[in-house]
Amino acid sequence: MAGLLTGAVAAIVSTDPFDADVFADAPSLRVVARVGVGVDSIDLAAATAAGVVVTTTPGANEVPVADHTLALMLSVLRRIAEHDAGVRRGEWNRTGPSVPMELTGATVGLVGFGTIGRLVAERLRGFGVRLLVSDPLVDPGAGPDLEVVALPELLARADIVSLHAPLTDATHHLIGARELASMARHAILVNTSRGPLVDEEALRAALASGHLRGVGLDVFEHEPPDPTLFGGDPRVVLSPHIGGLSERSIDEMTQRATASVLDVLAGRPPLSVANPAVLDRLIPTPVSAR
């Protein structure tokens, strides 16, 4: 990263690592424009100390994340990846342990009920599910067709647990060994939020013990993950942190990130700043980007 940033005043980035050393080696840098909303890979304190504005693009990828969440749920429940692999091997497994499950009528627990959680709920309503929500910021009367409960109750009752919480110190390993053990043995876990919400070692142990019917993960504690993380377990469906990406969302996020760069270099406060404390250090005179 330091080599790429030599002489650069701006960077349009994905999940590239920006730690204190990178900022120290890039004295010309004025703005890091994140194509996406997560800033887990960026040391915001170091960016602020270096006078670098960090921007994000909220609202551009929420719909594809919600769509991908449903895709993972259905892939696990209907055993799509497992059956695809079987047919390609010349198998025709339609009975016994190969029989899929249904989403219709299931009890689905949404952990986190921000914009994406609500979009997922909208999509699930068409399947006639029972909706449970756990979110300390949501009013118990949030909706007539959903029930707001504490996390332990949600985990105990849900057939499907879907994570939509932000990553903070309080939510790191929100789902650990104790929480997994409290879920029903037939339950499935889906995570399209942030990888460190789940203790992956505890999840591996739960699957090895026969607990949980399946898992759908788009995010991981370390990305990309060790390809042997879950071995060949057919109960696990994985995707490469692609939930928020679509042709439309990439185009919109790239345009927004570019606009943020142009704003900062022109001395204008950009939208969606992740470290607003740095804004008073913006140089009002425009500079040319290279």
Where residue 67 falls among pLDDT bands split at 50, 70, 90?
very high
Cross-strand pairs, 16: none
pLDDT digits (tens, 9 = 90+) for 102-113: 999 999 999 999
- Per the prediction, the chain carries an average pLDDT of 94
Q: From 3.30.565.10, 3.40.50.2300, 3.40.50.720, 1.10.8.100, which CATH number describes the 62-238 domain?
A: 3.40.50.720
pLDDT digits (tens, 9 = 90+) for 258-288: 999 999 999 999 999 999 999 877 655 455 5
The yes-or-no verdict on residue 43 having pLDDT over 60 is yes
62-238 has the same fold as 10-60+246-281: yes
What the block records as the tokens of 114 is 């921000």
Catalytic residue selected from 91, 223, 248, 281:
223
pLDDT at 140: 82
pLDDT digits (tens, 9 = 90+) for 191-211: 999 999 999 999 999 999 999
Catalytic residue selected from 194, 200, 213, 256:
194
Q: How far is CA 57 from CA 220, 243, 263, in A?
A: 21, 15, 14
pLDDT digits (tens, 9 = 90+) for 70-126: 999 999 999 999 999 999 999 999 999 899 999 999 999 999 999 999 999 999 999
- pLDDT, mean of residues 147-166: 97
Where residue 38 falls among pLDDT bands split at 50, 70, 90?
confident
- pLDDT, mean of residues 144-148: 92
φ, ψ (nearest 5 deg) of residue 202: -65, -35
Q: Which residues are CB-contacts of 208 (< 8 A; sequence separation ≥ 6)?
A: none
pLDDT at 284: 52
φ, ψ (nearest 5 deg) of residue 261: -60, -45
Rounded Cα distance, 277 and 54, in Å:
11
pLDDT at 289: 46
Q: Which CATH architecture has domain 10-60+246-281?
A: 3-Layer(aba) Sandwich (3.40)
Is the dihedral angle over the CA atoms 289, 3, 11, 282 positive or is it negative? Answer: negative
Catalytic residue selected from 30, 68, 118, 241:
241
SS (H, E, C) the chain: CCCCCCCCCEEEECCCCECHHHHHCCCCCCEEEECCCCCCCECHHHHHHCCCEEECCCCCCHHHHHHHHHHHHHHHHCCHHHHHHHHHCCCCCCCHHHCCCCCCCCEEEEECCCHHHHHHHHHHHCCCCEEEEECCCCCCCCCCCEEECCHHHHHHHCCEEEECCCCCCCCCCCECHHHHHHCCCCCEEEECCCHHHECHHHHHHHHHCCCCCEEEECCCCCCCCCCCCCCCCCCEEECCCCCCCCHHHHHHHHHHHHHHHHHHHCCCCCCCECCHHHHHHCCCCCCCCC
Nearest Cα residue to 191 out of 94, 111, 85, 132:
111
Rounded Cα distance, 59 and 255, in Å:
13
What the block records as the tokens of 222 is 């370390």
Type of residue numbered 168 = T
Type of residue numbered 206 = A
Type of residue numbered 48 = T
pLDDT digits (tens, 9 = 90+) for 207-237: 999 999 999 999 999 999 999 999 999 999 9
The domain limits of the chain are: 10-60+246-281, 62-238
The yes-or-no verdict on residue 66 having pLDDT over 70 is yes
Burial, 251: exposed, middle or buried (Cβ in 10 Å; 0-12, 13-18, 19+)? exposed
Active site annotation includes 194: yes
Active site annotation includes 223: yes
Rounded Cα distance, 210 and 195, in Å:
22
